[in-house]
Every structure is written in C-alpha cells, then in structure tokens.
C-alpha cells in the first residue's frame, strides 16, 4: 500500500456537523443533522487561494452554496433528495419586497379548515405521528399552500412547513430509522409554523448576491466544471436520506411512492455482497463496500477538471472490519492524477460487539 499524507487538525472537526449552524440565520431554516457548517467552506477556501467557482455534488441543505453566495463566489449544486433541494433553493434565493408581502398576506389569511387532501407515507400512516389537532393543522396549511400560483412563494412556505414537522410530531429520528414516541412533547403546529415564517421573513434579506445554480438530480453520472469542489457525500453507514426525511418528502409530494423513488437514485452507501471490479487492487478484498467506492470513483471522474476538491468523509466499521474511507478515496483520486492529503478532524470512539474502535472523520483534500 502506498504512503498517504495524513495530518491532524481537531479545530476543524467540530464543524463537520450542523450543531454550530443551529443558531445561524438562514443556515438554520431547515434542520439537517448530516449537514456541515460554513466554517468548513472557509477552511477549504483558505487552502485553495482565490476561487472562481465552487461545486457541491451532494449539496444537502446548501451550506456550501449559501456560504459561497455570502462571499460573492458563483456556485453550483446537485442533490437527489427533493427536501434537500427545496432547502437549498429557498435559502439561496434573493427575495423582493412584493414577494415578502405575498408571504405576509398568506399568513394573515391562514385558516384551519377541514383538509381534503390525503397524506400517505411508506412506513406508517402519518396521522399516527401527530397529535390529531396538529395533523389536521399541518394538512390544512399544506392544502392552502397548494393553491398559491407563485412557485417561489410556495417553496418558501413549504420549507417553513416541512421544518416544523420534527417539533410538532411524535417522530424521533433514531440513526437511520423513524420512531414514534407518543411521550415526546409537541408544539402547536400552526403556532410554530407562523413563528417560523415570520423569522424567515426577517432574515430573508440578510444574504444577497448571485444565486447559485442548483439541480435536483444525481451527481454520479454528471460531469461538472468548477474551479473547486467542496462537499460531503453520504457516509458509508447504511442510512438512506430518503428514509430519514421520508415524512417531509411524502408531505411535500403527497405521494406515498416518493421515498422509494428517491432511494433508488441515492449513492450506494449500503453494504452489498456483490463485488465490482472498479476498486484499486489493494481494496478488492472489500466486496461488501465496493458499490460505494465505485459510485465515488464516478463522482471523482466527473470533477476531474477541478483544480482542487474537498470531501468530508467518515470511516466505518463493517462486520468488525475497519473501512478507511478517507484512504481508499485518496488512493482512487491519486490514480486519477490528484495529490491527496487527509486532514483528520475528529476521532470517535465506538464500541461494537465489545470491541472499542477509534473511527475518524476527515477532510480529504485533493489537488492537481
């Protein structure tokens, strides 16, 4: 195995999560546990010098793009999940006075009436996940949003509505699955929705600048030219974003099958039995994770015109085997002509089957 450059910087690791963004205006319009914080973007930009354009092939809720907009840098993003796409879109638009007036008049005319639309979800009936009054209020708001003609306003309000599901429901996101806990405290849906929209209105003019170009599609087979890439792909942890944000997805589309459709387009972050021949020779003994790395290889192929790329990744323990995602990704990238440096940001201790493992999360820095 070749020697890779590995350095440690625990200052950056605390920004690999959404936690520091929870109080940041606009960044926090939608809670996405898997997002990183804008400090990661700043860190990458410091390493790359002057940057003309940025691409995020797994943009999530648009942290990279929003920070780029704040800094006056043009950016492009992709994601397959419509909830993530909606959050990125709404957070990165510029809003004009007449649009904000329209949002206000929607709030003023909001009523709670018997909804006529139906909401179905793949994993459980949504009505089980809410106190009855909240369920009715949420569907009623959803229905009233549906009648709006202006798509931009509609999306603004839809994001506000989706963002209040966690606090108005009994649902607990536990790892990759949704659980219903009827003892969980819930807030009155209409109240939290109104509060949320008012806060979004207040913050809607804070970040102005060139709007990024964003696409609701998979990045696995799309080549993109940008100066620098800053991203965090799904971790190798068997978790589907379509499932974790499934309740939000099904309310957005009012279509039970949407979760399955989105799941089918996600990067293979699942372990598999089948082997594929696309790994470097030293890693073909890891067939169970080969799909993940063959998808990642495609992603790297698609961005090879960029002069630098940054990937926040997490290593994994699978069947008692330590999968060094940061090293495998670096090797694949080096085979394509990048020079890789692994910047270890944090090390988590996890106990699996009685064994204590130290598993790191790193920023893989690739440059030409």
Ligand X SMILES: C[S@@+](CC[C@H](N)C(=O)[O-])C[C@H]1O[C@@H](n2cnc3c(N)ncnc32)[C@H](O)[C@@H]1O
Q: Cβ contacts of residue 264 below 8 Å, gap of 6+?
A: none
Task: Report how far residue 296's alpha carbon sits from residue 289's, in angstroms, rounded to the nearest whole number.
Answer: 11
Q: H helices of the chain, where?
A: 10-13, 38-48, 63-71, 82-92, 97-108, 132-146, 151-163, 165-168, 189-203, 241-244, 246-253, 258-263, 290-302, 325-335
Q: What residue is closest to ligand X based on CB?
A: 60
Among 234, 246, 314, 345, binds ligand X (CB under 6 A): 234
- In whole angstroms, the minimum distance from the beta carbon of 252 to ligand X comes to 14
What is the chain's Cα-based Rg? 21
Binding mask 19-58 for ligand X (x = CB under 6 A): -------------x-xxx--------------------xx
C-alpha–C-alpha distance, residues 238 and 338, integer Å: 28
Min. distance of Cβ 347 from ligand X in angstroms? 19
Whichever of 126 and 234 has its CB closer to ligand X, that residue is: 234
**Per-residue x/- marks for ligand X, 264-293, CB under 6 A?**
-xxx--------------------------
Residue 327 — φ and ψ, nearest 5°? -75, -40
Report whether 233 contacts 311 (CB < 8 A): yes
By CB under 6 A, name the one of 241, 283, 293, 311 that touches ligand X.
241
| SS3 at position 22 | coil
Whose Cβ is closer to ligand X: residue 153's or residue 244's?
244
Name the phi and psi angles at 212, rounded to 5.
-70, 160
Does 297 interact with ligand X (rule: CB under 6 A)? no
Q: State which residue, 170 or 215, has the beta carbon closest to ligand X.
A: 215
Q: Which is nearer to ligand X, 106 or 245 (CB)?
A: 245
Q: Report in angstroms how near the CB of residue 72 gets to ligand X at its nearest.
A: 20
Q: Which of residues 57-76 bind ligand X (CB under 6 A)?
A: 57-58, 60-61, 63
Window 70 to 109, contacts with ligand X (CB under 6 A): 78-81, 84
220 binds ligand X (CB under 6 A): yes
Alpha-carbon gap, residue 229 to 76, rounded angstroms: 10
190-219 positions binding ligand X, by CB under 6 A: 218-219
Nearer to ligand X, 103 or 229 (CB): 229
Q: Is 300 an interacting residue with respect to ligand X (CB under 6 A)?
A: no
Bridge partner residues of 365 (DSSP): 310, 341
Check residue 253 and report its DSSP letter.
H
CB neighbour class for 113 (10 Å; exposed up to 12, middle 13-18, buried from 19): exposed
Which stretches of the chain bind ligand X, using CB under 6 A?
32, 34-36, 57-58, 60-61, 63, 78-81, 84, 218-220, 232-234, 241, 265-267
């Amino acid at each position: 195995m070749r020697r890779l450059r590995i350095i440690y910087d625990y200052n950056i690791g605390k920004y690999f999560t959404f936690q520091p963004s929870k109080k940041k205006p606009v960044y926090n319009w939608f809670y996405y546990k898997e997002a990183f914080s804008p400090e990661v973007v700043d860190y990458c930009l410091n390493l790359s010098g002057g940057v003309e354009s940025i691409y995020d092939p797994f943009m999530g809720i648009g942290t990279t793009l929003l920070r780029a907009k704040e800094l006056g840098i043009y950016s492009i993003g992709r994601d397959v999940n419509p909830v993530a796409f909606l959050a990125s879109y709404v957070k990165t638009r510029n809003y004009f006075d007449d649009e904000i007036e329209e949002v206000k008049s929607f709030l003023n005319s909001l009523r709670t009436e018997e909804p006529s639309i139906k909401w179905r979800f793949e994993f459980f009936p949504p009505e089980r996940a809410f106190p009855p009054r909240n369920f009715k209020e949420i569907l009623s708001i959803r229905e009233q949003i549906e009648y709006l003609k202006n798509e931009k306003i509609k999306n603004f309000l839809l994001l506000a509505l989706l963002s209040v599901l966690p606090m108005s429901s009994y649902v607990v996101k536990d790892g990759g699955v949704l659980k219903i806990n009827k003892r969980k405290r819930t807030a009155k849906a209409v109240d939290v929705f109104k509060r949320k929209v008012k806060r979004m209105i207040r913050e809607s003019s804070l970040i102005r600048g060139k709007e990024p170009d964003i696409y609701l599609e998979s990045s696995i087979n799309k080549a993109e030219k940008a100066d620098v890439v800053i991203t965090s792909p799904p971790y190798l942890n068997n978790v589907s974003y379509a499932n974790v944000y499934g309740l939000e997805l099904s309310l957005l589309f009012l279509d039970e099958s949407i979760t399955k459709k989105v799941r089918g387009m996600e990067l293979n972050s699942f372990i598999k039995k089948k082997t594929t021949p696309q790994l470097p020779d030293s890693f073909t003994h890891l067939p169970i994770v080969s799909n993940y790395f063959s998808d990642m290889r495609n992603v790297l192929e698609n961005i090879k015109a960029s002069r630098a790329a940054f990937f926040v990744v997490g290593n994994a323990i699978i069947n008692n085997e330590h999968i060094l995602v940061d090293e495998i990704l670096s090797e694949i990238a080096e085979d394509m002509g990048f020079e890789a440096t692994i910047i270890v940001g944090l090390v988590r201790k996890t106990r699996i089957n009685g064994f204590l493992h130290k598993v790191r999360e790193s920023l893989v820095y690739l440059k030409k």
